[in-house]
A and B are shown apart, each in its own frame.
Chain A
Amino acid sequence: MSDGKLFIKSKATELRTELDQALKKSKPHSKVKIVLKKVIANIILNNNELVPLLPDIIKLLKIDDYEIRKMSSQFIVEYGPENAALAKEAIPYYTRFLEDPSPLLRSLAIKTLSTVKNKDFQIISFEVIKKLLNDNDPEVRKASAYCVSRLFQNDPDRAIRDQLINNLNELLYDNNQIVVSNTLAALNSITETNKSLTLTIDKAHSIALISHLNVANEWCQVYILNSLSSYVPQTSDEALELIEAALPSLQHESSAVVLNAIKIIVYFCNYVKNPQLIIPSLSNRLGTSLVSLLSKPAEIQFLVLRNVILLLLGRRELINLDVEMFFCKYDDPIYIKDTKLEIIYLLANSQNIHSVIRELEEYATEIDVSMSRKAIRAFGNLSVKLVGAAQECVEVLCDLIGNGIPYIVQESAIVLKNILRKYPQRFDFAVDVLLNQYKLIDEPDAKTSLIWIVGQYDDNQERSIKIINDLSSNFKEEPLEVQYALLTAVTKLYLKYPTEGESSMLNVLKWATEEVDNPDVRDRAYIYWRLLSLDENTSGDGGFQEKSKQIILNSSPMISSDNDNIDPKILEELELNIGTLASIYLKPVQHVFRLSKKKQLVPSPALQPRIIKTAEPDIDNYNENENGNGNGNGNGNDNEVNRPSKPLPTRPNTSRVNSSSNTNHSHLAPHRNASSTLSSRSSVISGQKSLDSAGSSFEDSNGKREGFAKRLSRRASLITNRKLSKS
């Protein structure tokens, strides 16, 4: 006989009859248990009709059988709150159990008393809990520790008034490590909900806790490691000592232990200057321990990979990773492939770029459309990020476009737009390749990019005019962004080729001003129209439309990939939350979980200022290597490691100035944003850029800085279906 047939919903009256019959027998135990099993089944199946059985079940408590008592208690916990008056009858039994010699029964009693939310139960629990915290059996002490957090959850004020927290604190010095670590977990649950309470640990105690790590089971290790982040080291030596003490835990088989160990190692690294130089193996060990977690099931891999991204963004110098380990497997789930691509992008540098490009090419030709598109996008981002890689990337892109597969061509068009902006004039051959395939393009984004490229870079007069005529024939039905792009492109063509471009320019402007209902498109068309018909343009000594050319045929501002950086404040908090849910979303913790408590680094004499990375380290790297003045910094890794301590060379400074002056113009940045707000404070000249913008997005510099962060979190939201509501 198996329990399967007991797993059904039943009625209270049926069960009561069965129970009565069972109790008539001289040895009722086994029959009673069967009834109780049915009761448990109904609890699992969430059947609320069993409340009337409460008095019958309470009576069962007097049968001296642990199993019966345990199952009955579960019933009381579940249905007791529904009828407080009846449930009260059970209390005398439990007070008696508390005195029982069996530790199991004592644990059961205090667990039940503290869990039932009725007032009577809670009052009793508060009265007895202190005694049980000092029980001579460790299992009972452990259970009682959790009961304190339960009581705290139900009535925090009373718990504080009764100084239960102090009692828990005393348990931290228990001689049984299981009790200690579980008390830490209990305290953790209290501090995470209460805003005013925080856990503080002194040095002696943190070292004592570490000594428990060896004998503790994996969960206890997690709780101990986690609690170490409550200790604020006062000197760098202390922090180093703790880092070394946590290192062995990186070898643990459980991903929870490893991630928590990484969390506290990274935390303590905040209190040491250049920890990776003091412990040379540190970055290797952190790297390999992360990589080895990739043999875990997909869900855990996903979590690990998201944390790898986090560490790469904020703590590049602390982890040493091989890009090959993040190449996608054929059967990886999409969410893993996605995250791996992001990591490949972050890890690519001038040393490994060749293998990265080969790998991405492989993905791009895959039949899976979304993967292939992402790979192509990665080409674009890479060539913007790494000057040295641009040539190779563009060549691969041209090959791909040459195959004439529609979605590849479309995605490549979008990507090429960014590359051409970054390296004007350098890749004119790519323009030719793309424009040969223009007929395949029908998606708005791709069309917008194509139109912009034609307007900006195509020198072949006949072809440009043909393409633009083709694409504008359907002007009124096009989506907004395509209309914008067309407006700009026809104006440019007119300026370049006054006679041949005139008719299409007139057509488009006419449609836009007379037939389109959207006021933004109309206004924009008017601006162009007025500009072209300005007196200064037509008369005077300058050439044809001199002023308009100055404004419209201007070269666009540079773009760069330095918007990879998430705000250091956010990174700092996320690093304190390695392995948590927020690390999956890579968003400020409070944005994801409104109620969660803010974590931040506590200042101490040893706290190191956070080094804010300057723009584009990889390009600097590349240039340095190319100019042969690498200063003996053999490979890129060394370079990375030394960077914080080195006085910054002049080049990064200037490039930073550049990039900050660009921050207003993110419309062609590698990521595509869709917000459309026009800035009023920009002058005419910079206004040109906004008019020219393909996506017409204007963001303040803050928004730009978080660009990558947004992309990441948006991706996480997409793949995790998180509803983005209020934020």
Chain B
Amino acid sequence: MLSALFVYDNKGDILVSKIYKNGVKRNISDVFRIQVITSSNQASKSGTNVSTNYNKSPVLTLGSTSFIYIRSGKVWLCAITRSNQDCSVVFEFLYKLESLLKLILLGTNNINNGSNSNSNLYQLNEELLSNNFVMINEILDEIVEFGYPTDMELNHLKQTVLSLKPSTTSDSFNLKLPSLTRRKSSALSIPVSLNSHETNGKSKVSWRDEGIKYRRNEIFLNVEEKINILMNSEGQVLRSYIDGVINMKTHLSGMPECKFGFGENSILLNSSNENSSNLNENNVILEDSKFHQCVDLSRFDFDRSILFIPPDGEFQLMNYHCRSNINLPFQIYPQITEIGNSKLSYKIRVKSLYSSKLPALDLQVKIPTPTGVLKSNISNSSGKSKYHPDQNLIIWKFNKFFGEQEHILTAEVDLTQTTTSGNALSNSFNWTRPPLTLDFKIDMFSCSGLTVKFLKVQERGNYKTVKWVKYCTHSGSYEVRL
């Protein structure tokens, strides 16, 4: 498995280094810096294209040594392996490590990456890592043994990594631990001592400690769907699918056994006797659902019931795909005509197809234009629109866009002559014609039509549980080809 692990900052300076096995020396880190980081920095400096490094493959093999790496914000995480190792484990490990660090250092969970996950606030950077290098070093000792990842659950780490313990008082780290602080306030204190470890090891499930207690038992269930649509310019859907996740947050005492079920029209595919021909039009068909490790998969395979003992705190219970019977929220009809060789006229029609009571929030239509726009003249039936020359986009915004409505934007842009002259490209404007994109968020709407029917919590303590269920639909890549 892993022979070594390095984390670099943007310039290629080392922030974390860990050697797990014989066969590599510490100075192997220089090879990666020279081969990948420096060359990608040079490329992005000299080339106009920022995305050069982005186009490099994530694996570099020199001799028997492979460098497997990902980028997160401004840092590089690079694992070094010898010979033919399981690449899937390595990548999965790097991404789990990334989200673990984010969770600990930033207090955000990677799972609910909303629209703001790109902003710098939520990214790892060198300052954050060097401020916590002792803790990270310690974590890396715990989650990997001899190059093999063993256990990356935060709950497990809280017991072995001293700097993560809530009782740490001697050092004040620059870290926020929302789940910890919350737990402190709402739960009775959990005895954590060196010896408690012994009992934990014997606990049947590795992701949940025994003896968790809350005064108020709550369980939150969020159905979050990301809809991905690709339409052609006639408004026909070329590709559509939904990536859905069900996130949970549990504040439950003891060892609760939870069970939940979907509405009757929901069908979880992958059953052995499926046959897509006899599925009803109205059914919600969830394909290849993937579950958190706490879900009893053999039970699911047997009778489709979702049974689990949840870990404490936030986690992603399942994710799924849906490709059929999708409730399309928006239909878009773009019309672009070229007037002469220096003018483009746009007419974009957006129609909402969901219930008129629901609003879509923060709707943005991004309409690409060629470079070198001299003058733009935009008018629209509703919302706000503006031309952004730096991005070559017309952005059309709505704070709220209710269902069963239709709005139109018309625009004319004048282009400089230079962009049109001198080349014989297929479209007379030297223009990549990127797709028009749509960003939005609709609460209490699931485009797959999925509904949660029941959610049961059973525990020996027989306490009452407050349950919250929320639905939300985001736009993933909602694109219309022009």
Asked whether A335 lies within 8 Å of B57 as measured between CB atoms, the reply is yes
Q: Complex Cα distance A720/B86, Å?
A: 17
Give residues 211-239 of A contacting B (CB, 8 Å).
213-223, 226
Contacts of A149 in B (CB 8 A): 146
Tell me if A125 is interfacial: C-beta within 8 Å of chain B.
Answer: no
Assess the B170–A153 pair: CB atoms within 8 A: no
Closest to B18 in A: A44
- Among A51-59, A279-287, A426-434, A618-626, the stretch in contact with B: A279-287
B154 proximal to A (CB < 8 A): no
Q: Give, as a whole number of angstroms, the nearest-CB distance from A406 to chain B.
A: 8
CB of B404 within 8 A of chain A?
Answer: no
Asked if residues A333 and B197 are in contact (CB atoms below 8 Å), the reply is no
Residue-wise interface mask of B (260-284) relative to A, using a CB-CB cutoff of 8 A (1 in contact, 0 not) = 0000000001111110000000000
Is the beta-carbon distance between A251 and B300 smaller than 8 angstroms?
A: yes
Contacting chain A: which of B19-27, B337-345, B384-392? Answer: B19-27
Closest chain A residue to B423, Cβ basis = A405
CB–CB A218/B293 < 8 A:
yes
B456 CB–A CB distance under 8 Å: no
Q: Which residue of A lies closest to B432 (CB)?
A: A367
Of the candidates B148, B230, B273, B300, the one having the most CB atoms from chain A within 10 angstroms of its own CB is B148
A137 close to B (CB within 8 Å):
yes
- List chain A residues, Cβ under 8 A from B426: 365, 403, 405
CB-based contact B172/A1 at 8 Å? yes
- Report yes or no: B243 in contact with A721, Cβ–Cβ below 8 A: no
Across the interface, A45 reaches (CB within 8 A) one of B14, B195, B238, B274, namely B14
Main secondary structure of the interface of B (DSSP, over half): mixed
Contacts of A324 in B (CB 8 A): 238-239
> CA separation between A40 and B135, bound complex, in Å?
11
Interface: B83 (CB within 8 A): yes
Judge if B296 is at the interface, Cβ distance under 8 Å.
Answer: yes
Contact A153 B22 (CB under 8 A): yes
Mark out the residues of chain B between 32 and 51 whose CB falls within 8 Å of any chain A CB in the assembled complex: 35, 51
* In the assembled complex, A162 has its CB within 8 A of some CB on chain B: no
The interface size of chain B toward A, counting residues with CB under 8 Å, comes to 114
Total CB contacts across the A-B interface at under 8 A: 305
CB of A581 within 8 A of CB of B66, answer: yes
Q: Counting CB contacts under 8 A, is A189 at the interface?
A: yes
Other-chain residue from B133, B141, B162 in contact with A66 (beta carbon distance below 8 A): B162
Out of B35, B152, B301, name the residue touching A248 (CB < 8 Å): B301
Residue of chain B at shortest CB distance from A141? B201
Contact B201 A44 (CB under 8 A): no
Residues 181-209 of chain A, each 1 if its beta carbon lies under 8 Å from chain B, else 0: 01001100100100000000000000000
B286-320 to A contact mask, C-beta < 8 Å, 1/0: 01111111001110110000000000000010111
B148 touches A251 (CB 8 A): no
Is B250 interfacial (CB 8 A cutoff)?
no
Minimum Cβ distance to chain A for residue B20 (Å): 10
Decide: A219 near B150, CB < 8 A? Known: A4-B131, A281-B270, A299-B70: yes
Q: A453 → chain B, closest Cβ, in Å? A: 22
Q: Are B87 and A581 in contact (CB under 8 A)?
A: yes
Report the bound CA distance from A154 to B477 in whole Å: 51
Which of A341-349, A496-504, A583-591 contacts the other chain?
A583-591
Q: Which of A178, A182, A192, A295 contacts B243, CB < 8 Å?
A: A295
- B460 at the A interface (CB under 8 A): no
Which chain A residues lie closer than 8 Å to B68 at the CB level? 581
Which among B92, B148, B477 is the interface contact of A189 at CB below 8 angstroms?
Answer: B148
Taking a contact as CB atoms under 8 Å apart, the answer to whether A252 and B89 are in contact is no
Taking a contact as CB atoms closer than 8 A, the residue among B147, B152, B162, B435 that contacts A330 in the complex is B435
Closest A residue, CB atoms, query B206? A217
User: Are B55 and A722 in touch, CB under 8 angstroms?
Assistant: no
Q: How far is the CB of B127 from chain A (nearest CB, A)?
A: 7
> Do A192 and B83 touch (CB < 8 A)?
yes
**Which A residues are CB-close (under 8 A) to B171?**
1, 3, 30, 33
Contact call B194/A299, Cβ cutoff below 8 A: no
Q: How far apart sit A280 and B81, CA to CA, in the bound complex (Å)? A: 38
- A255: which of B29, B92, B272 is its contact (CB, 8 Å)? B92
Residues of the A chain whose Cβ atoms lie less than 8 Å from the Cβ of B35: 721
A83 contacts chain B at the CB level, 8 A cutoff: no
- In the bound complex, residues from chain A placing their C-beta under 8 Å from that of B170 are 29-30, 33
8 A Cβ contacts from B65-89 to A: 66, 68, 70, 81, 83-89
A650 in contact (CB, < 8 A): no
Counting CB contacts under 8 A, is A49 at the interface?
A: no
Query: Can you name the residue of chain B whose Cβ is closest to the Cβ of A249?
Result: B297
Q: Nearest A residue to B309 by beta-carbon distance?
A: A215
Inter-chain contact B133/A260, CB cutoff 8 Å: no
Is the CB of B479 closer than 8 A to any CB of chain A? yes
A298 close to chain B: CB less than 8 A: yes
Checking B14, B152, B201, B430 against A46 with a beta-carbon cut-off of 8 angstroms, the contacting residue is B14
A176 touches B201 (CB 8 A): yes
Instruction: Mark B188-217 against chain A: 1 for CB-CB distance below 8 A, else 0.
Output: 000000110110011011110000000000
Contact: A405 with B298, CB < 8 Å? no
> Contacts A256-B89, A720-B57; is A103 near B198 (CB within 8 Å)?
yes
State whether the Cβ of B347 lies closer than 8 Å to any Cβ in chain A. Answer: no
A715 vs chain B, min Cβ distance (A): 10
Q: B296: which A residues are within 8 A, CB to CB? A: 214
Contact code string A250-292 (vs B, CB < 8 Å = 1, else 0): 1111111011100000000000000000011100110011011
B439 on the A face (CB < 8 A): no
> Do the beta carbons of B197 and A103 come within 8 Å of each other?
yes
Tell me, yes or no, whether A674 is within 8 Å of chain B by CB: no
- Give the most central of B134, B137, B432: most A CB within 10 Å: B134
Q: Given the interface contacts A218-B293, A256-B86, A580-B86, does A284 sit within 8 Å of B274 by beta carbon?
A: yes
Q: Are B290 and A253 in contact (CB under 8 A)?
A: yes
User: Given the complex, which residues of B lie within 8 Å of A153, measured CB to CB?
Assistant: 21-22
Q: Is the CB of B56 within 8 A of A3?
A: no
Closest CB of chain B to A74's CB: distance in Å?
8
For residue A544, CB closer than 8 A to chain B, the reply is no
A121 at the interface (CB under 8 A from B): no
Contact of A2 with B84 at beta-carbon distance under 8 Å, contacts A288-B321, A333-B55, A404-B424 already known:
no
Which single residue of chain B is at the shortest CB-CB distance from A185? B148
State whether B297 touches A579 (Cβ < 8 A): no
Q: Which of A335, A583, A721 has the most CB of B within 10 A?
A: A721
Q: Is the CB of B300 within 8 A of A300?
A: no
Task: Give A292 to B479 CA distance when docked, in angstroms.
Answer: 20
Given A185-B148, A215-B205, A291-B288: A335 and B133 within 8 A (CB)?
A: no
Least Cβ–Cβ distance between A301 and chain B, in angstroms: 10
List residues of A (312-364) whose CB comes within 8 Å of B's CBs: 324-325, 327, 329-331, 333-335, 362
- B133 engages A40 (CB within 8 Å): yes
Of chain B, the residue at the smallest CB distance from A108 is B141
**B83: which of A43, A579, A593 is its contact (CB, 8 Å)?**
A593
- Would you call B346 an interface residue if the criterion is a C-beta within 8 Å of the partner chain's C-beta atoms? no
The verdict on A527 contacting chain B, using a C-beta distance below 8 Å, is no
Asked if B160 lies at the interface with its beta carbon under 8 angstroms from chain A, I say yes
- Tell me, yes or no, whether A443 is within 8 Å of chain B by CB: no
- With A189-B1, A252-B291, A404-B424 already in contact, the answer to whether A329 and B14 are too (CB < 8 A) is no
Our pick among A247, A252, A333 for the contact of B293 (Cβ within 8 Å) is: A252
Contacts of A403 in B (CB 8 A): 424-426
593-612 of chain A: CB within 8 A of chain B? 593-596
Find out whether the CB atom of A226 lies under 8 angstroms from the CB atom of B321. Answer: no
Q: Per a CB cutoff under 8 Å, which of A41, A260, A281 touches B273?
A: A281
Complex Cα distance, B92 from A360, in Å, reads 32
A596 and B59 within 8 A (CB)? no
- Report A-chain residues with C-beta under 8 Å of the C-beta of B320: 292
- Is there an interface contact between B288 and A288, defined as CB atoms closer than 8 Å? yes
Given contacts A281-B274, A330-B479, A721-B35, 12 further A-B contacts (CB under 8 A): A3-B131, A40-B134, A71-B134, A149-B146, A189-B1, A219-B149, A253-B293, A281-B271, A292-B320, A367-B432, A405-B426, A720-B61
Interface pairs (8), CB distance under 8 Å: A2-B174, A103-B201, A219-B89, A281-B271, A292-B320, A367-B433, A719-B56, A723-B62
The 5 closest A-B pairs by CB, nearest first: A248-B297, A288-B288, A367-B432, A299-B58, A579-B88
